């Protein structure tokens, strides 16, 4: 296989390259961003890439929708496109919209609880809250030990 035919083959499948670029971009946004809204956008971009990939795989050159055709009007064999990838991706779109809505609702609740949608600030506030709870527990345990020692001293 020569370089020119390899390049022509790669250019001829540009839709797969677009899927790969969108997938990498979405994955990078999810990993690199600390903002929860941006993470949801990255997940949506990743999902879009997967849907485009499946639709591209299901498309057949010269294929038509799988609808019954009058045999008298058709000359030669009829090539149909497989409907299963399209049907599955419609379901994936519905699930993706529901997941995005749930994620955004959770971000709203996190913003109300922590006052931020930045992952670092939320983790810092959570660690500070844990440290405060541990200090309160240690203080109450020390107070209980003092009370118990005082009761044993009077007995």
Q: What is the CATH number of the domain that holds 104?
A: 1.10.287.3510
Q: For the chain, what is the domain count? A: 2
* pLDDT for the residue numbered 155: 60
User: What digits encode the pLDDT tens for the residues 78-107?
Assistant: 778 888 888 899 999 999 999 999 999 999
Instruction: Report the distance separating Cα 65 and Cα 86, nearest Å.
Output: 11
Looking at the structure, tell me whether residues 9 and 76 fall in a common domain: yes
Looking at the structure, tell me whether residues 73 and 133 fall in a common domain: no
Looking at the structure, tell me whether residues 132 and 63 fall in a common domain: no
Q: Which residue has the tokens 């345990």?
A: 141
Looking at the structure, tell me whether residues 112 and 124 fall in a common domain: no
Looking at the structure, tell me whether residues 38 and 90 fall in a common domain: yes
Looking at the structure, tell me whether residues 50 and 106 fall in a common domain: yes
Looking at the structure, tell me whether residues 82 and 100 fall in a common domain: yes
* β-bridge partners, 118: 35
Contact present, 26 and 18 (Cβ < 8 Å): no
Looking at the structure, tell me whether residues 90 and 126 fall in a common domain: no
Of the candidates 12, 24, 14, the one whose C-alpha atom is nearest the C-alpha of residue 50 is 24
Stretches where the chain sits below pLDDT 70 are 1, 154-155
Which residues constitute the domain of residue 144? 120-155
Q: Which two tokens stand for residue 83?
A: 């409907």
Q: What angle do CA 82, 83, 89 make, to 5 degrees?
A: 120
* pLDDT for the residue numbered 131: 87
């Amino acid at each position: 296989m020569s370089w020119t035919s390899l390049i022509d083959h790669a250019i001829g499948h540009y839709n797969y390259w677009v899927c790969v670029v969108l997938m990498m971009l979405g994955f990078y946004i999810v990993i690199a961003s600390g903002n929860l809204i941006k993470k949801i956008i990255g997940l949506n971009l990743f999902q879009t890439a997967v849907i485009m990939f499946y639709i591209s795989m299901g498309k057949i050159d010269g294929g038509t929708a799988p609808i019954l055709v009058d045999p008298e009007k058709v000359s030669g064999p009829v090539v149909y496109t497989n409907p299963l990838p399209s049907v599955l991706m419609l379901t994936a779109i519905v699930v993706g919209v529901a997941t995005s809505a749930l994620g955004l609702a959770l971000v709203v609740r996190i913003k109300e609880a922590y006052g931020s949608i930045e992952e670092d600030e939320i983790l810092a506030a959570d660690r500070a809250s844990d440290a405060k709870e541990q200090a309160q527990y240690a203080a109450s345990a020390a107070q209980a030990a003092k009370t118990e020692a005082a009761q044993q001293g009077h007995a």
